């Protein structure tokens, strides 16, 4: 799959809520302090926080703003790695700092969107991380123990208690209050883009960067597909899957398939319409709400859906039918007795990092070249987190970078 470009296709309900804002294609050579490449949430938020820090920015996107992130309308503290996994990878101190940072950013979303994109339909939700396998109960109890012992209040829900709460079988799970959310990702992207341009940032759609070189060791010259050049002091590359060509060890290509129902306001067996994630490692399932009435299920597969090549050689239309039916069966098993229809289905390519955390930093071998890979499973949270971090790294704001665990991110430099 090397060299192929990931694509997004299909339809989700929030795509219909008004046409997306459109920005011109680049039509002349331009100069800027920082060029941000990629107009998904990671790129938009990186540009936004740079501009807020007083940095002149140009953002270019090969297609339309939003990218794959427009499929990710749910997020939670459990959208990334578990605390147990962080403890297995890092020291206790660093694991706790990372977990605290994730939880804090989840809770910061409300303040951020109320200021930048108040019309994006944000709703705070609880989070539920669960297993349906008896053999995994001990791991789930250890996750519960670690969180409570480390000062992160949560509740363990066993199989007996789950019977009265959920419409599907649960062997055990960790329930966290107010540490998740649902959002309209298209409206969020539009709101950030509007604020970015109001603050002086420049956005160009349908302006793919095809080459990039550093000239005289002082500045970058990036050439777009439409033949124009952008000269910049620094570059922030936020192209997700495209970053794997430069950093193969950053993560793996994945395709997320999303299934969304019609309105189901009286759905039972789903307390508070919390954001739910199971503990499956190969094919995790993520469930959240949309407009507080719809059900969205998301599943993953290794590999990338491409515009021309389908998926692992399978024709796209056939694959869509198979994945849609698979997710529909899972939905029917989870919400037994409910009459649900699922008219919305789509797929988006993304990068899943090995530990479920985003990458953000400066390439030590190419000063001035910054990168952001948000790990799409928790796109909203990771984009805000990394956008702040990049702005802090570039401007040298020591407090900002310290608060956002810059040392931990640099410790995970991509290979």
pLDDT at 188: 93
The residue to which tokens 């009459």 are assigned: 339
Q: Which secondary-structure segment (H or E) carries 95?
A: helix 92-116
Q: Which secondary-structure segment (H or E) carries 35?
A: strand 30-37
C-alpha 311/C-alpha 48 separation (Å) is 34
**φ, ψ of residue 285 in degrees (nearest 5):** -120, 130
- Interstrand relation of 57-60 and 30-37 (parallel, antiparallel or unpaired): parallel
Average of pLDDT values for 289-295? 82
- What are the domain boundaries of the chain? 19-71+186-249+357-411
Neighbours of 92 (CB within 10 A): 11
Statement: residue 406 has pLDDT above 50:
no
Report the first-to-last Cα separation within the chain, whole angstroms.
Answer: 18
Q: What band does 17 get if pLDDT is binned at 50, 70 and 90?
A: low
CA 165 vs CA 132, 158, 278: distances in Å: 15, 11, 16
19-71+186-249+357-411, which class in CATH? alpha beta
Quote the tokens at residue 266.
């009286």
C-alpha 41/C-alpha 193 separation (Å) is 10
pLDDT at 7: 58
**pTM, 2 dp:** 0.91
Q: What band does 402 get if pLDDT is binned at 50, 70 and 90?
A: very low
């Amino acid at each position: 799959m090397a060299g192929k470009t990931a694509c997004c296709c299909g339809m989700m309900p929030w795509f219909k809520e008004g046409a997306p804002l459109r920005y011109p294609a680049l039509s002349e050579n331009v100069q800027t302090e920082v060029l941000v490449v990629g107009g998904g949430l990671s790129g938009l938020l990186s540009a936004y926080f740079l501009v807020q820090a007083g940095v002149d920015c140009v953002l270019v996107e090969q297609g339309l703003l939003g990218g794959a992130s427009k499929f990710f309308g749910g997020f939670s503290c459990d959208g990334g790695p578990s605390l147990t996994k962080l403890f297995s990878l890092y020291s206790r101190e660093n694991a706790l700092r990372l977990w605290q940072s994730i939880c804090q950013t989840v809770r910061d979303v409300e303040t951020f969107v109320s200021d930048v994109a108040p019309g994006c339909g944000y709703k705070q939700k609880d989070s539920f991380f669960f297993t349906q396998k008896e053999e995994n109960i001990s791991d789930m109890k250890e996750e519960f123990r670690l969180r409570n012992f480390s000062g992160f209040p949560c509740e363990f829900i066993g199989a007996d208690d789950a019977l009265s709460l959920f419409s599907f079988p649960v062997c055990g799970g960790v329930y966290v209050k107010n540490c998740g959310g649902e959002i309209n990702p298209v409206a969020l992207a539009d709101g950030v883009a509007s604020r970015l341009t109001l603050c002086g940032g420049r956005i160009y759609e349908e302006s793919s960067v095809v080459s990039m070189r550093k000239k005289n060791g002082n500045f970058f010259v990036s050439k777009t597909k439409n033949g124009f050049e952008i000269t910049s002091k620094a570059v922030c590359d936020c192209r997700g899957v495209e970053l794997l060509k430069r950093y193969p060890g950053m993560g793996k290509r994945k395709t997320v398939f999303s299934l969304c129902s019609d309105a189901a306001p009286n759905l039972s067996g789903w307390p508070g319409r919390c954001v739910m994630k199971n503990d499956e490692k190969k094919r995790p399932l993520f469930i959240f709400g949309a407009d507080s009435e719809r059900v969205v299920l998301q599943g993953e597969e290794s590999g990338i859906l491409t515009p021309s090549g389908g998926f692992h050689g399978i024709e796209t239309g056939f694959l869509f039918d198979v994945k849609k039916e698979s997710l529909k069966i899972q939905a029917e098993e989870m919400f037994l007795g409910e009459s649900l229809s699922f008219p919305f289905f789509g797929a988006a390519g993304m990068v899943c990092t090995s530990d479920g955390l985003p990458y953000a930093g400066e390439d030590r071998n190419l000063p001035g070249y910054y990168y952001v890979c948000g790990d799409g499973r928790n796109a909203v949270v990771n984009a805000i987190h990394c956008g702040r971090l990049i702005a802090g790294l570039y401007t040298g704001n020591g407090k900002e970078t310290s608060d956002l665990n810059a040392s931990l991110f640099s410790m995970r430099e991509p290979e």
